[in-house]
């Protein structure tokens, strides 16, 4: 039986959710990000999902270590847990300071087991970038919910920016053209609303006059193709405001 990386997402998400984390898929190149408050600070866990252990995975773990020292690899549970391959994996994970999770993906229960927790690297410690960590937190904070499945490829990803555009589109659909200042004041849209409307990356908005925008035909059509949960939520929001 063959598995995809995305098959690992739900069991890993459930595991960290039970530990009190909020879990999100596909955040700033991370397959899975789990966040919870620890003494007023955001504790971040990053997990890379892979169907097999390879060198590319090690490179990705080293890159994720620039965001947080709590980095895991998650793979399907090997058939021989006592074999040499598993021992070699654990040895390498210890060398890079990463943790290792195995998922019983071939079992109806899809159990998750942590074989190794992240620890101190045997080599030079990775430098954590406060800029990258802040970018992850901003992205998560800008999402209403987790609509992404970690480990997917060639699939539209819901980002905080896209969600922001969906909100604007739903408000303009309901109320017609208005200024960025009005959108911010009445509907609580972000400080960057003017920039989002002006740059119009998706082509969803039309400039009617100085600082005034409305929903374009492509924007109206896009609302029927976007995540229905988000569109329904923001259409209801627009109808109540």
Domain ranges of the chain: 5-141, 160-240
Q: Supply 2's token pair.
A: 């063959």
> Are 202 and 225 within 8 A, CB to CB?
no
Helix (H, G, I), strand (E, B) or coil at 235: helix
Look up residue 140 and give its two tokens. Answer: 């998560």
The band of 228, judged by pLDDT with boundaries at 50, 70 and 90, is confident
- The answer to whether the beta carbons of residues 96 and 121 sit under 8 Å apart is yes
Chain mean position to CA 31? 7
Across 24-33, 84-93, 118-127, 175-184, least confident range: 118-127
What predicted TM-score, i.e. pTM, was given to this entire model?
0.60
**Nearest-angstrom CA–CA distance, 207 and 215:** 9
Mean pLDDT (whole number) for 136-145: 66
Query: CA–CA separation, 218 vs 40, rounded Å?
Result: 43
pLDDT at residue 212 is higher than 90: yes
More confident call, 152 vs 193: 193
The yes-or-no verdict on residue 158 having pLDDT over 70 is no
* CATH code for residues 5-141: 3.40.1350
Residue 147 has pLDDT above 80, yes or no: no
Return all residues near 40 (Cβ < 8 A) that are at least 6 apart.
Answer: none
């Amino acid at each position: 039986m063959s598995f995809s990386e995305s098959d690992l997402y739900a069991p890993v998400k459930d595991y960290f959710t039970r530990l009190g984390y909020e879990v999100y898929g596909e955040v700033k190149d991370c397959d899975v990000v789990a966040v919870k408050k620890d003494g007023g600070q955001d504790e971040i866990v990053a997990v890379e999902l892979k169907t097999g252990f390879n060198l590319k995975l090690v490179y990705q773990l080293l890159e994720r270590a620039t965001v947080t020292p709590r980095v895991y690899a998650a793979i399907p549970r090997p058939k021989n847990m006592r074999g040499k391959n598993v021992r070699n994996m654990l040895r390498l994970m210890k060398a890079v300071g990463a943790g290792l999770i195995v998922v019983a993906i071939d079992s109806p229960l899809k159990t998750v087991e942590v074989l190794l927790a992240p620890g101190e690297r045997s080599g030079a410690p990775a430098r954590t970038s406060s800029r990258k960590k802040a970018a992850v937190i901003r992205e998560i904070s800008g999402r209403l919910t987790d609509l992404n499945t970690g480990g997917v490829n060639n699939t539209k990803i819901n980002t905080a920016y896209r969600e922001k555009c969906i909100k604007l589109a739903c408000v303009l659909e309901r109320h017609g053209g208005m200024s960025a200042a009005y959108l911010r004041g009445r509907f609580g849209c972000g400080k960057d609303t003017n920039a989002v409307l002006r740059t119009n990356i998706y082509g969803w908005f039309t400039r009617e006059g100085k600082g005034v925008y409305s929903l374009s035909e492509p924007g109206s059509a896009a609302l029927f193709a976007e995540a229905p949960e988000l569109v329904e939520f923001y259409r209801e929001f627009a109808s109540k405001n």
